Amino acid sequence: MTSQPGKRRPRGSGYETLAVYGGRRQPSIEGITRRSPLRSAASGGAGATTVVFAGQGEQDALAATLERLPELRRHSRYAVAHNPIARAIRRCFADHVIGSGIVPRSAVNPRRLGITESQAREFEEAADEVFRDASRFADVTGRQEYVGLQRLVFLSIFDAGDVFPSFPMVARDDGAPVTTRINLIEAERVETPIKDATNPRVRGGVQLDAWGAPEGYWVVRDHPGDQLAARRFQHEFWSRSRNGRVNVMQAYAQDRIGQARGLPVLHAALPIIDQVGQYVDSTIFQAELQTRLSLWITTQGDPEQMAQLLQARDSAAREAAYAGLLEAGVQADSINLLAEGDDVKSVSPSTPGAYWDALIVRLLRLCGAAAGGAPFELFSNDVGAANYSAIRAALMAFRKTIAQQHEALLPVFRVHRELALWEAWLDGKLLPGAPWLRMDRDRAGWLAAKWHLPAQGWIDPTKEVAAYTDAVDAGFMSRGDVIAQMTGETYLDVARRRADEARIDRELGLERANKVTVPVAAGTAPHEAAADDESERDQLEPDDGEKVELNDTTTAGAR
């Protein structure tokens, strides 16, 4: 049976709502068909394979890590709430991982789908528009739009190590359309029930199949930290729907094979962050102590006569003067004589020494490195002593960590986008008058998209523009690569905007002061290239030939 747009399909035929938000309850774990621990290979017969779990020593280490996870989560959440260093690192991560948002753009292959280029462009524009409408109501609570929800998902992973998004169908009272929303389940709500405490297939509330893949999650009905909740010890088993629809998934950064739960990003830096506070308290206490124990000296007698005695040629007189001062408990060789009656009230510093800044900077750099390589200059906003090369190198290393965080986030929002577009097509809201649109024949092909990550921005535009220009000229990068990396847009977006600006300038009779380059064949004269300038702007094709700079009335100010 094939699905038709505009018609709701019955349950079990490819379209189903989340059980916990409407309709029926989730099936109990007894009703789920589990895989056998011994599973034959795809070829069958003698090619049977057995899933072998880790050795006893590694199992003990994994168990110890799982036992410490609640404590690590509490420690991490407390640090980001009360420690300025942890909060600065958290903000730095969120600004670079999420920024202005991770934006999907539909990118279908017309050859694969058997449609024309114009039909593919029409579908892409319609799909992006439908998803923009759905993303305004991405959260079940109605508080977060799409970018805010992305930031909330990442911050949950940062603080607790993982988060469990579910995808219910929700009809709100605020007039929002009925569509798939994202509901975030905190890491503390997923835990192993007491009855399964000795079950090796349940680790940290995640039930694994024979191959180590999650087949469901044990979710506490109410948050275990809520003392007023009556159901904080009751668990439900959440898994996929019977028709394969994703109901709940786990978002976390996996570092090793067999890792069932995620670790907070700050877990390795927490001991160092705690030490920084101790260093600060110790240094301030020492400064206060030195101030309170300052030396008080009151001169007695004529200071000139005392100076003469201390500098006398007669060794006996000089030794007698020194002996008198030593008996009084004064180190004579460090005495500066003052006028009679003047007092020295404090000879100790009331501020930390010169080594203080160097020590704190070293500790902060170590905190950033332990937390995933966050550069000190970025999370501290202290770039006074850094140069362009140092900041650029630190940022390039930090982007590797950012890429790992994107790998943990993208599956969540990819599932949400696919569900939203699929349901829009079933309801007849996605190009209802297009008979060539049959998403049931190649669902993955129609839902293909390119995800544009946050822009990296410029550190030193003068140097970077020159470097990227050389890279494009040498063939190492395309202009689209540079635009996507630095601004988060596509080449087509920038080209269309430039074409609109050129059209407005022509309509208003304005002179363009920017330099224009056009692709021409080898041997073409400059005046012939100028004649083709208008067609080049209209076609918006990338340069693939020799560049010729124009210097006519339309390019005033060009070199």
Q: What is the pLDDT of residues 77-95, one digit of tens each?
A: 999 999 989 999 999 999 9
Q: In a 3-state reduction of DSSP, which class is residue 325?
A: helix
Tell me what pLDDT residue 256 has.
82
Tell me what pLDDT residue 35 has.
33
In the 8-state DSSP scheme, what is residue 210?
T
As a whole number of angstroms, the distance between CA 435 and CA 4 comes to: 11
The residue count of the chain comes to 559
| 195 or 288, greater pLDDT | 195
Q: Mean pLDDT over all residues of the chain?
A: 74
The pTM assigned to this predicted structure is 0.67
Mean pLDDT of all residues in 179-206? 90
Q: What is the pLDDT of residues 440-464, one digit of tens each?
A: 889 999 999 999 888 777 777 888 8
Residue 540 has pLDDT above 80, yes or no: no
Residue 516 has pLDDT above 60, yes or no: no
Question: Any residues with CB less than 8 A from the CB of 469 and at least 6 apart, and which?
Answer: none
Range among 125-134, 238-247, 395-404 with highest mean pLDDT value: 125-134
Residue 29 has pLDDT above 60, yes or no: no
Are 18 and 247 within 8 A, CB to CB? Answer: yes
User: 142, exposed or middle or buried, with CB in 10 Å at 0-12, 13-18, 19+?
Assistant: middle
Tell me what pLDDT residue 156 has.
94
Tell me what pLDDT residue 296 has.
55
Q: Which residue has the tokens 């946050």?
A: 454
Question: Any residues with CB less than 8 A from the CB of 105 and at least 6 apart, and which?
Answer: 124, 128, 449, 450, 451, 452, 490
Q: In a 3-state reduction of DSSP, which class is residue 451?
A: strand
Which of 375, 379, 417 has the alpha carbon at shortest distance from 396? 375
As a whole number of angstroms, the distance between CA 171 and CA 41 comes to: 45
Question: Any residues with CB less than 8 A from the CB of 215 and at least 6 apart, and which?
Answer: 32, 34, 207, 208, 209, 239
As a whole number of angstroms, the distance between CA 274 and CA 293 comes to: 29
pLDDT-derived band at 548, boundaries 50, 70, 90: very low
Tell me what pLDDT residue 520 has.
44
pLDDT-derived band at 172, boundaries 50, 70, 90: low
Q: How many whole angstroms from its chain centre is CA 479?
A: 26
What are the structural domain ranges in the chain? Answer: 21-33+53-269+397-450, 270-370, 453-555
Mean pLDDT of all residues in 101-122? 92
pLDDT-derived band at 507, boundaries 50, 70, 90: confident
| 166 or 289, greater pLDDT | 166
Backbone angles phi, psi at 282, to 5 degrees: -65, -40
Residue 43 has pLDDT above 60, yes or no: no
Mean pLDDT of all residues in 155-172? 89
Residue 312 has pLDDT above 90, yes or no: no
As a whole number of angstroms, the distance between CA 139 and CA 107 comes to: 25
Tell me what pLDDT residue 51 has.
37
User: 433, exposed or middle or buried, with CB in 10 Å at 0-12, 13-18, 19+?
Assistant: exposed
Rg of the chain's alpha carbons, rounded to an integer? 35
Residue 387 has pLDDT above 80, yes or no: no
55-92: b (≥16 Cβ within 10 Å) or e: eeeeeeebeebbeebeebbebbbebbeebebbebbbbb
As a whole number of angstroms, the distance between CA 539 and CA 496 comes to: 10
